[in-house]
Chains A and B, each alone.
Chain A
Amino acid sequence: MADSRSSDSEQIVDVTFNQQQYVVIEKLKAEGQFGRTDEEIVRNIFLEFLRQEGI
Protein backbone atom coordinates (compact mmCIF):
# COMPACT_ATOMS: atom_id res chain seq x y z
CA MET A 1 0.00 0.00 0.00
CA ALA A 2 1.25 3.49 -0.83
CA ASP A 3 2.20 6.00 1.85
CA SER A 4 -0.96 7.92 2.66
CA ARG A 5 0.87 11.00 3.93
CA SER A 6 1.59 13.90 1.62
CA SER A 7 4.58 16.15 2.09
CA ASP A 8 4.83 19.63 3.55
CA SER A 9 3.98 21.52 0.42
CA GLU A 10 0.80 19.60 -0.28
CA GLN A 11 -1.76 20.84 -2.71
CA ILE A 12 -5.40 19.98 -2.76
CA VAL A 13 -7.01 18.75 -5.96
CA ASP A 14 -10.80 18.63 -6.19
CA VAL A 15 -11.74 15.39 -7.92
CA THR A 16 -15.37 14.66 -8.71
CA PHE A 17 -16.86 11.19 -8.89
CA ASN A 18 -20.39 10.53 -10.02
CA GLN A 19 -22.62 8.22 -8.03
CA GLN A 20 -21.72 5.25 -10.22
CA GLN A 21 -17.99 5.83 -9.88
CA TYR A 22 -18.45 6.43 -6.17
CA VAL A 23 -19.57 2.80 -5.83
CA VAL A 24 -15.90 1.90 -6.32
CA ILE A 25 -14.82 4.17 -3.48
CA GLU A 26 -17.47 2.70 -1.20
CA LYS A 27 -16.30 -0.84 -2.01
CA LEU A 28 -12.68 0.05 -1.32
CA LYS A 29 -13.69 1.81 1.88
CA ALA A 30 -15.44 -1.35 3.01
CA GLU A 31 -12.27 -3.33 2.30
CA GLY A 32 -10.41 -1.08 4.71
CA GLN A 33 -7.02 -1.70 3.09
CA PHE A 34 -6.63 1.75 1.56
CA GLY A 35 -8.08 4.02 4.20
CA ARG A 36 -11.31 4.99 5.87
CA THR A 37 -12.24 8.32 4.34
CA ASP A 38 -13.00 9.21 0.73
CA GLU A 39 -9.87 11.36 0.61
CA GLU A 40 -7.64 8.55 1.88
CA ILE A 41 -9.11 6.03 -0.54
CA VAL A 42 -8.75 8.23 -3.61
CA ARG A 43 -5.27 9.40 -2.70
CA ASN A 44 -3.94 5.95 -1.83
CA ILE A 45 -5.51 4.20 -4.79
CA PHE A 46 -4.15 6.85 -7.12
CA LEU A 47 -0.66 6.46 -5.65
CA GLU A 48 -0.99 2.70 -6.13
CA PHE A 49 -1.99 3.36 -9.72
CA LEU A 50 1.12 5.54 -10.22
CA ARG A 51 3.27 2.82 -8.67
CA GLN A 52 1.82 0.14 -10.94
CA GLU A 53 2.39 2.40 -13.92
CA GLY A 54 6.02 2.77 -12.87
CA ILE A 55 5.73 6.51 -12.45
Chain B
Amino acid sequence: MLQYGPLKTEVVLQPVSGKALPVLRGEVLRIIQEEGEQCVDFNAFNLHDYKEFLGVSNTRSRNAFRVKKGDIIWTVSSRDRPMFLILEISETCRTDLLGGRCRASLFDRRGYGLHTNCQDTLAAAIGEYDLTPDDVHDSLNLWMNTEWDSVGRYFTLRNTGQKGDYVDLLATIDTLSVPATCGSGDVGWTSNFSLKPIRVQVFDASDETLARVEEIERHNTGFKGQRTPDEFKVNKIKADRELRRNPNYVPEFVNYPITSKPIQVPLSTEELAKTKQLVAVGLGKDVAEVIRIGVILWYMRNREPGRRFR
Protein backbone atom coordinates (compact mmCIF):
# COMPACT_ATOMS: atom_id res chain seq x y z
CA MET B 1 0.00 0.00 0.00
CA LEU B 2 1.26 3.46 -0.87
CA GLN B 3 2.29 5.86 1.88
CA TYR B 4 -0.13 8.80 1.77
CA GLY B 5 0.46 12.29 3.15
CA PRO B 6 -1.16 13.43 6.43
CA LEU B 7 -4.94 13.60 6.84
CA LYS B 8 -6.06 16.97 5.53
CA THR B 9 -9.86 16.91 5.71
CA GLU B 10 -12.41 14.69 7.40
CA VAL B 11 -16.18 14.96 7.28
CA VAL B 12 -19.06 12.68 8.11
CA LEU B 13 -21.85 12.90 5.59
CA GLN B 14 -25.17 12.35 7.26
CA PRO B 15 -27.85 10.39 5.37
CA VAL B 16 -29.09 12.06 2.19
CA SER B 17 -26.32 14.64 2.15
CA GLY B 18 -23.20 15.20 0.07
CA LYS B 19 -20.14 17.42 0.05
CA ALA B 20 -18.03 18.98 -2.69
CA LEU B 21 -14.38 18.71 -1.68
CA PRO B 22 -11.27 19.81 -3.55
CA VAL B 23 -9.00 16.78 -3.93
CA LEU B 24 -5.81 17.82 -5.65
CA ARG B 25 -3.39 15.92 -7.87
CA GLY B 26 -1.60 13.35 -5.75
CA GLU B 27 -4.08 13.53 -2.88
CA VAL B 28 -6.17 10.56 -1.84
CA LEU B 29 -9.89 10.61 -1.22
CA ARG B 30 -11.02 7.89 1.16
CA ILE B 31 -14.73 7.06 1.41
CA ILE B 32 -15.60 4.92 4.43
CA GLN B 33 -18.68 2.96 5.43
CA GLU B 34 -19.51 4.44 8.84
CA GLU B 35 -22.11 1.78 9.62
CA GLY B 36 -22.18 -0.37 6.48
CA GLU B 37 -24.73 -1.17 3.76
CA GLN B 38 -24.88 2.39 2.39
CA CYS B 39 -24.70 3.15 -1.32
CA VAL B 40 -22.52 6.14 -2.26
CA ASP B 41 -22.95 8.16 -5.44
CA PHE B 42 -19.85 9.93 -6.66
CA ASN B 43 -19.40 12.88 -9.02
CA ALA B 44 -16.17 14.73 -9.80
CA PHE B 45 -15.07 17.72 -11.86
CA ASN B 46 -11.78 19.18 -13.01
CA LEU B 47 -11.33 21.87 -10.36
CA HIS B 48 -10.10 24.36 -12.97
CA ASP B 49 -12.59 23.56 -15.75
CA TYR B 50 -15.94 22.11 -14.72
CA LYS B 51 -16.73 21.07 -18.30
CA GLU B 52 -14.25 18.26 -17.81
CA PHE B 53 -15.85 15.80 -15.42
CA LEU B 54 -15.87 12.14 -14.51
CA GLY B 55 -16.88 10.17 -17.58
CA VAL B 56 -18.94 7.19 -16.53
CA SER B 57 -19.37 5.74 -20.02
CA ASN B 58 -15.71 6.38 -20.85
CA THR B 59 -14.68 4.63 -17.64
CA ARG B 60 -17.08 1.78 -18.33
CA SER B 61 -15.87 1.22 -21.88
CA ARG B 62 -12.22 1.30 -20.81
CA ASN B 63 -12.66 -1.04 -17.86
CA ALA B 64 -15.88 -2.97 -17.34
CA PHE B 65 -19.40 -2.50 -16.02
CA ARG B 66 -17.73 -2.47 -12.62
CA VAL B 67 -14.41 -0.91 -11.67
CA LYS B 68 -11.97 -2.56 -9.29
CA LYS B 69 -8.64 -1.97 -7.57
CA GLY B 70 -6.03 -0.69 -10.03
CA ASP B 71 -8.56 0.66 -12.53
CA ILE B 72 -8.34 4.22 -13.78
CA ILE B 73 -11.39 6.50 -13.59
CA TRP B 74 -11.42 8.65 -16.74
CA THR B 75 -12.81 12.06 -17.56
CA VAL B 76 -15.38 12.54 -20.32
CA SER B 77 -14.49 11.52 -23.87
CA SER B 78 -13.95 15.10 -25.06
CA ARG B 79 -10.90 15.27 -22.73
CA ASP B 80 -10.28 11.58 -22.07
CA ARG B 81 -7.74 11.90 -19.27
CA PRO B 82 -7.09 9.81 -16.18
CA MET B 83 -8.88 11.42 -13.23
CA PHE B 84 -8.43 8.90 -10.42
CA LEU B 85 -6.73 5.61 -9.77
CA ILE B 86 -8.54 3.17 -7.49
CA LEU B 87 -5.76 2.47 -5.01
CA GLU B 88 -7.71 0.39 -2.55
CA ILE B 89 -11.23 -1.00 -2.42
CA SER B 90 -12.81 -3.38 0.06
CA GLU B 91 -13.86 -6.72 -1.39
CA THR B 92 -17.42 -6.11 -0.23
CA CYS B 93 -17.67 -2.87 -2.20
CA ARG B 94 -19.54 -3.63 -5.40
CA THR B 95 -19.20 -0.81 -7.90
CA ASP B 96 -21.66 0.17 -10.61
CA LEU B 97 -21.30 2.20 -13.78
CA LEU B 98 -24.73 1.48 -15.21
CA GLY B 99 -27.27 2.98 -12.87
CA GLY B 100 -26.62 6.70 -13.37
CA ARG B 101 -28.25 8.26 -10.35
CA CYS B 102 -31.69 8.18 -8.79
CA ARG B 103 -33.98 11.20 -9.18
CA ALA B 104 -37.13 12.39 -7.48
CA SER B 105 -39.64 11.41 -10.16
CA LEU B 106 -38.68 7.74 -9.81
CA PHE B 107 -40.04 7.77 -6.29
CA ASP B 108 -43.05 9.96 -6.92
CA ARG B 109 -44.14 7.45 -9.58
CA ARG B 110 -43.89 4.77 -6.92
CA GLY B 111 -46.12 6.72 -4.54
CA TYR B 112 -43.54 8.20 -2.17
CA GLY B 113 -44.06 11.86 -3.13
CA LEU B 114 -40.92 14.00 -2.93
CA HIS B 115 -38.30 11.51 -1.83
CA THR B 116 -34.57 11.94 -1.33
CA ASN B 117 -32.53 11.16 -4.43
CA CYS B 118 -28.97 11.53 -5.69
CA GLN B 119 -29.72 14.02 -8.44
CA ASP B 120 -31.02 16.51 -5.89
CA THR B 121 -28.41 15.65 -3.23
CA LEU B 122 -25.52 16.10 -5.65
CA ALA B 123 -27.07 19.32 -7.00
CA ALA B 124 -27.34 20.71 -3.48
CA ALA B 125 -23.70 19.82 -2.80
CA ILE B 126 -22.20 21.31 -5.97
CA GLY B 127 -24.22 24.51 -5.55
CA GLU B 128 -21.48 25.56 -3.14
CA TYR B 129 -19.30 26.02 -6.24
CA ASP B 130 -22.04 27.73 -8.29
CA LEU B 131 -22.73 24.63 -10.35
CA THR B 132 -26.33 23.94 -11.29
CA PRO B 133 -28.51 20.81 -11.21
CA ASP B 134 -27.77 20.45 -14.94
CA ASP B 135 -24.11 19.96 -14.05
CA VAL B 136 -24.77 16.82 -12.01
CA HIS B 137 -23.58 13.89 -14.10
CA ASP B 138 -24.02 10.13 -14.03
CA SER B 139 -22.48 8.71 -10.90
CA LEU B 140 -19.74 6.28 -10.23
CA ASN B 141 -21.72 4.22 -7.76
CA LEU B 142 -19.92 2.63 -4.82
CA TRP B 143 -21.41 -0.12 -2.69
CA MET B 144 -24.20 -0.56 -5.22
CA ASN B 145 -24.85 -4.23 -5.76
CA THR B 146 -26.47 -4.35 -9.15
CA GLU B 147 -26.79 -7.13 -11.66
CA TRP B 148 -28.10 -7.57 -15.16
CA ASP B 149 -29.31 -10.51 -17.16
CA SER B 150 -28.71 -11.74 -20.68
CA VAL B 151 -31.40 -9.48 -22.15
CA GLY B 152 -30.13 -6.39 -20.34
CA ARG B 153 -32.62 -6.20 -17.52
CA TYR B 154 -31.03 -4.42 -14.60
CA PHE B 155 -31.80 -4.86 -10.93
CA THR B 156 -30.43 -4.20 -7.46
CA LEU B 157 -29.48 -6.84 -4.91
CA ARG B 158 -28.80 -6.57 -1.18
CA ASN B 159 -26.07 -4.06 -0.32
CA THR B 160 -22.93 -5.93 0.69
CA GLY B 161 -21.03 -3.04 2.31
CA GLN B 162 -19.58 -3.65 5.77
CA LYS B 163 -18.81 -1.17 8.54
CA GLY B 164 -15.26 0.10 8.00
CA ASP B 165 -15.13 -0.74 4.29
CA TYR B 166 -13.36 1.94 2.32
CA VAL B 167 -12.39 3.03 -1.14
CA ASP B 168 -9.23 5.05 -1.80
CA LEU B 169 -9.16 7.20 -4.92
CA LEU B 170 -5.88 8.80 -5.95
CA ALA B 171 -6.54 12.06 -7.82
CA THR B 172 -4.43 12.36 -10.95
CA ILE B 173 -5.65 15.90 -11.68
CA ASP B 174 -6.97 18.64 -9.40
CA THR B 175 -10.59 17.72 -8.76
CA LEU B 176 -13.73 18.85 -7.07
CA SER B 177 -14.87 15.51 -5.69
CA VAL B 178 -18.47 15.05 -4.63
CA PRO B 179 -19.46 11.97 -2.65
CA ALA B 180 -23.11 11.70 -1.63
CA THR B 181 -25.01 9.24 0.51
CA CYS B 182 -27.60 7.75 -1.84
CA GLY B 183 -31.14 8.72 -0.89
CA SER B 184 -32.92 5.79 -2.48
CA GLY B 185 -31.86 3.14 -0.02
CA ASP B 186 -34.72 3.32 2.47
CA VAL B 187 -37.17 2.06 -0.12
CA GLY B 188 -35.03 -0.60 -1.77
CA TRP B 189 -32.04 -2.90 -1.57
CA THR B 190 -29.68 -0.13 -2.69
CA SER B 191 -28.90 0.47 1.00
CA ASN B 192 -30.96 -2.37 2.50
CA PHE B 193 -34.02 -0.26 3.38
CA SER B 194 -32.29 2.28 5.63
CA LEU B 195 -30.18 5.40 5.22
CA LYS B 196 -26.78 5.63 6.93
CA PRO B 197 -23.90 8.11 7.13
CA ILE B 198 -20.52 7.77 5.43
CA ARG B 199 -17.15 9.20 6.43
CA VAL B 200 -14.94 11.00 3.95
CA GLN B 201 -11.24 11.76 4.37
CA VAL B 202 -8.72 13.51 2.18
CA PHE B 203 -5.00 12.76 2.56
CA ASP B 204 -2.29 15.09 1.37
CA ALA B 205 -0.08 14.11 -1.53
CA SER B 206 3.15 12.30 -0.71
CA ASP B 207 6.24 11.47 -2.76
CA GLU B 208 4.80 8.00 -3.34
CA THR B 209 1.36 9.14 -4.47
CA LEU B 210 2.88 11.77 -6.76
CA ALA B 211 5.22 9.17 -8.23
CA ARG B 212 2.21 6.96 -9.00
CA VAL B 213 0.43 9.89 -10.65
CA GLU B 214 3.47 10.55 -12.82
CA GLU B 215 3.55 6.89 -13.81
CA ILE B 216 -0.11 7.04 -14.84
CA GLU B 217 0.52 10.21 -16.82
CA ARG B 218 3.46 8.61 -18.62
CA HIS B 219 1.37 5.68 -19.80
CA ASN B 220 -1.98 7.36 -20.37
CA THR B 221 -1.51 10.86 -21.70
CA GLY B 222 -0.16 12.37 -24.89
CA PHE B 223 -2.53 10.54 -27.23
CA LYS B 224 -4.46 12.15 -30.06
CA GLY B 225 -7.90 13.21 -28.90
CA GLN B 226 -6.89 14.05 -25.33
CA ARG B 227 -7.77 17.62 -26.11
CA THR B 228 -7.83 20.85 -24.19
CA PRO B 229 -10.42 23.56 -24.91
CA ASP B 230 -7.74 25.48 -26.84
CA GLU B 231 -7.94 22.75 -29.46
CA PHE B 232 -11.74 22.86 -29.79
CA LYS B 233 -13.14 24.44 -32.94
CA VAL B 234 -15.91 25.82 -30.75
CA ASN B 235 -14.49 26.51 -27.32
CA LYS B 236 -16.56 29.25 -25.76
CA ILE B 237 -19.05 28.01 -23.19
CA LYS B 238 -22.55 29.09 -24.17
CA ALA B 239 -23.85 31.56 -21.64
CA ASP B 240 -27.52 31.45 -22.56
CA ARG B 241 -29.96 28.56 -22.79
CA GLU B 242 -31.61 28.93 -26.20
CA LEU B 243 -30.01 27.03 -29.08
CA ARG B 244 -29.59 28.99 -32.31
CA ARG B 245 -28.03 27.84 -35.55
CA ASN B 246 -24.77 29.52 -36.58
CA PRO B 247 -25.18 29.96 -40.35
CA ASN B 248 -21.42 30.52 -40.82
CA TYR B 249 -20.35 27.35 -39.10
CA VAL B 250 -18.60 24.69 -41.18
CA PRO B 251 -17.97 21.44 -39.35
CA GLU B 252 -14.58 19.79 -39.54
CA PHE B 253 -15.07 16.07 -39.19
CA VAL B 254 -11.99 13.96 -38.50
CA ASN B 255 -10.50 12.32 -41.62
CA TYR B 256 -13.48 13.40 -43.70
CA PRO B 257 -14.23 12.26 -46.33
CA ILE B 258 -13.28 8.62 -45.97
CA THR B 259 -11.55 7.44 -49.12
CA SER B 260 -10.55 3.96 -50.22
CA LYS B 261 -7.45 2.60 -51.88
CA PRO B 262 -7.66 -0.69 -53.78
CA ILE B 263 -4.82 -3.16 -53.41
CA GLN B 264 -4.54 -6.14 -55.72
CA VAL B 265 -3.73 -9.23 -53.70
CA PRO B 266 -2.61 -12.42 -55.49
CA LEU B 267 -3.81 -15.67 -53.93
CA SER B 268 -3.18 -19.25 -55.03
CA THR B 269 -6.08 -21.59 -55.56
CA GLU B 270 -5.37 -23.20 -52.20
CA GLU B 271 -5.16 -19.84 -50.42
CA LEU B 272 -8.37 -18.72 -52.05
CA ALA B 273 -10.10 -21.89 -50.90
CA LYS B 274 -8.99 -21.23 -47.31
CA THR B 275 -10.26 -17.69 -47.56
CA LYS B 276 -13.61 -18.92 -48.82
CA GLN B 277 -13.83 -21.15 -45.75
CA LEU B 278 -13.76 -17.99 -43.64
CA VAL B 279 -16.50 -16.44 -45.77
CA ALA B 280 -18.55 -19.58 -45.15
CA VAL B 281 -18.21 -19.21 -41.37
CA GLY B 282 -19.19 -15.56 -41.50
CA LEU B 283 -15.93 -13.69 -40.93
CA GLY B 284 -16.79 -11.51 -43.91
CA LYS B 285 -19.36 -11.37 -46.65
CA ASP B 286 -16.85 -11.98 -49.46
CA VAL B 287 -13.19 -12.85 -50.02
CA ALA B 288 -12.04 -9.25 -50.20
CA GLU B 289 -13.71 -8.38 -46.92
CA VAL B 290 -12.22 -11.43 -45.21
CA ILE B 291 -8.74 -10.36 -46.31
CA ARG B 292 -9.26 -6.82 -45.05
CA ILE B 293 -10.64 -8.04 -41.73
CA GLY B 294 -7.84 -10.60 -41.43
CA VAL B 295 -5.16 -7.96 -41.91
CA ILE B 296 -6.65 -5.61 -39.33
CA LEU B 297 -7.28 -8.44 -36.85
CA TRP B 298 -3.68 -9.57 -37.27
CA TYR B 299 -2.49 -6.03 -36.55
CA MET B 300 -4.72 -5.78 -33.50
CA ARG B 301 -3.38 -9.02 -32.08
CA ASN B 302 0.27 -8.58 -32.94
CA ARG B 303 1.11 -4.93 -33.13
CA GLU B 304 -1.38 -2.73 -31.28
CA PRO B 305 0.45 -1.37 -28.22
CA GLY B 306 -1.13 -2.36 -24.93
CA ARG B 307 -4.17 -3.94 -26.56
CA ARG B 308 -6.09 -6.44 -24.46
CA PHE B 309 -7.34 -8.51 -27.38
CA ARG B 310 -10.54 -10.44 -26.86
A42 in contact with B299 (CB, 8 Å): no
A45 to B269, CA, bound (A): 18
B268 in contact with A19 (CB, 8 Å): no
B298 in contact with A49 (CB, 8 Å): yes
Rounded to whole Å, the gap between the CB of A43 and the closest CB of chain B is: 5
Q: State which of A11, A12, A45 has its C-beta within 8 Å of the C-beta of B299.
A: A45
Q: State which of B287, B301, B303 has its C-beta within 8 Å of the C-beta of A13.
A: B287
B299 in contact with A28 (CB, 8 Å): yes
A48 to B298, CA, bound (A): 8
In terms of DSSP, what is the predominant structure of the interface of chain B? helix
Binary interface profile of B, 272-300, with partner A (CB < 8 Å = 1, else 0)?
Answer: 10110110000000011001101111110
The chain B residue sitting closest to A55, CB to CB, is: B274
A52-B301 in contact given A14-B264, A21-B296, A46-B294 (Cβ < 8 Å): yes
B265 in contact with A39 (CB, 8 Å): yes
A17-B263 in contact given A24-B295, A45-B298, A55-B278 (Cβ < 8 Å): yes
B298 in contact with A43 (CB, 8 Å): no
Q: State which of A8, A18, A39 has its C-beta within 8 Å of the C-beta of B260.
A: A18
Of the A-B pairs whose beta carbons lie under 8 Å apart in the complex, a sample of 27, sorted by A's number, is A6-B266, A6-B268, A8-B268, A10-B266, A10-B268, A12-B264, A13-B266, A15-B263, A15-B264, A16-B262, A16-B263, A18-B260, A21-B292, A28-B299, A38-B263, A39-B263, A42-B263, A42-B265, A42-B295, A43-B265, A43-B267, A46-B275, A49-B294, A49-B295, A49-B297, A50-B271, A50-B275
User: Using a CB–CB distance below 8 Å, which chain B residues touch chain A?
Assistant: 255, 258-272, 274-275, 277-278, 287-288, 291-292, 294-299, 301, 303
